Structure 1
Amino acid sequence: MPGRGHIEFIQSQMLPWRRIGHGLARPDVEYRMLSRDPSDGACSVLMRYPPGWSRLGPEHIAADEEFYVLDGSLVMDGHVYPADSYAFLPAGWTRSEMHSTQGCVILAFYNREPTLMPLAGDGSAERSPRAVPHLDVTAMSWDLALNDANLKHLGIGRKNLRTDPETGERTFLSLILPQAIPPGNKGPKEIHPVVEEAYCISGSLTGPHGTMYPGAYFWRPAGIAHGPFGARWGAVSLIRFVGGRHVNVWTDDEAPFSFDAPYSPVLPPELAYLSGMPWVPPPPY
Structure 2
Amino acid sequence: MPNRPHIEFVQAQMLPWRRLGPGLARTDAEYKLLSHDVATGACSVLMRYPPGWTREGPEHLGAAEEFYVLDGGLEVDGRVYAADCYAFLPAGWTRHHMASPAGCVLLAFFDAEPVLHAGAGDGRAEADPAAVPFQNVLHMAWDMTLNDPKLRHLGIGRKDLRRDPVTGERTFLSLILPQSEPPGRRGPTERHPVVEEAYVVAGSLTGPHGTMHPGAYFWRPPGIAHGPFGSRWGAVSLVRFVGGRHVNLWSTDEAPFAFDAPYAPVLPPDLAHLALVPYVAAAAW
| TM-score normalised by structure 1 residue count | 0.96
Once the two structures are TM-superposed, the CA of residue 25 in structure 1 deviates from its matched residue by: 9.9
Counterpart in the other structure of 1:224: 224
Counterpart in the other structure of 1:98: 98
- 1:48-197 to 2 correspondence within 5 Å? 48-197=48-197
Counterpart Cα distance in 1 of 2:122 and 2:32: 31
Q: Is the 8 A contact 2:186 2:257 kept in 1?
A: yes
Counterpart Cα distance in 2 of 1:7 and 1:25: 31
Cα distance change, pair 27–95 in 1 and its aligned pair in 2 (3 A) = farther
- 1:185-264 to 2 correspondence within 5 Å? 185-264=185-264
Once the two structures are TM-superposed, the CA of residue 251 in structure 1 deviates from its matched residue by: 0.2
Report the AA paired with residue 255 of structure 1: A
Counterpart Cα distance in 2 of 1:39 and 1:23: 26
Cα distance change, pair 24–116 in 1 and its aligned pair in 2 (3 A) = farther
Counterpart Cα distance in 2 of 1:59 and 1:196: 31
Once the two structures are TM-superposed, the CA of residue 248 in structure 1 deviates from its matched residue by: 0.2
Counterpart in the other structure of 2:40: 40
Deviation digits for residues 10-67 of structure 1, max 9, x if unmatched?
Answer: 0000000001136989982100000000011100000000001111100001000000
Report the AA paired with residue 28 of structure 1: D
* Secondary structure of residue in 1 paired with 2:168: coil
Deviation digits for residues 155-179 of structure 1, max 9, x if unmatched?
Answer: 0000000001221100000000000
Counterpart Cα distance in 1 of 2:140 and 2:91: 26
Larger strand share, 1 or 2? 1
Once the two structures are TM-superposed, the CA of residue 278 in structure 1 deviates from its matched residue by: 2.9
Q: Is the 8 A contact 2:25 2:54 kept in 1?
A: no
Once the two structures are TM-superposed, the CA of residue 279 in structure 1 deviates from its matched residue by: 1.1
Counterpart Cα distance in 1 of 2:23 and 2:162: 28
Counterpart Cα distance in 1 of 2:282 and 2:31: 23
* Secondary structure of residue in 1 paired with 2:174: strand
Deviation above 6 Å: which 4+ runs of structure 1? 22-27
Q: Is the 8 A contact 1:25 1:61 kept in 2?
A: no
Deviation digits for residues 243-262 of structure 1, max 9, x if unmatched?
Answer: 00000000000000000000
Once the two structures are TM-superposed, the CA of residue 206 in structure 1 deviates from its matched residue by: 0.1
| TM-score normalised by structure 2 residue count | 0.96
Deviation digits for residues 207-262 of structure 1, max 9, x if unmatched?
Answer: 00000000000000000000000000000000000000000000000000000000
Report the AA paired with residue 254 of structure 1: E
Q: Is the 8 A contact 2:178 2:231 kept in 1?
A: yes
Once the two structures are TM-superposed, the CA of residue 275 in structure 1 deviates from its matched residue by: 1.0
Cα distance change, pair 24–198 in 1 and its aligned pair in 2 (3 A) = farther
RMSD over aligned CA atoms reads: 1.7
Deviation digits for residues 102-153 of structure 1, max 9, x if unmatched?
Answer: 0000100000100010111011000001100000101100000001010000
Q: Is the 8 A contact 1:146 1:156 kept in 2?
A: yes
Once the two structures are TM-superposed, the CA of residue 3 in structure 1 deviates from its matched residue by: 2.4
Counterpart Cα distance in 2 of 1:135 and 1:249: 31
Correspondence 1:8 to 2:2: no
In structure 2, the gaps of 5 or more residues are none
Q: Is the 8 A contact 2:27 2:54 kept in 1?
A: no
* Secondary structure of residue in 1 paired with 2:173: strand
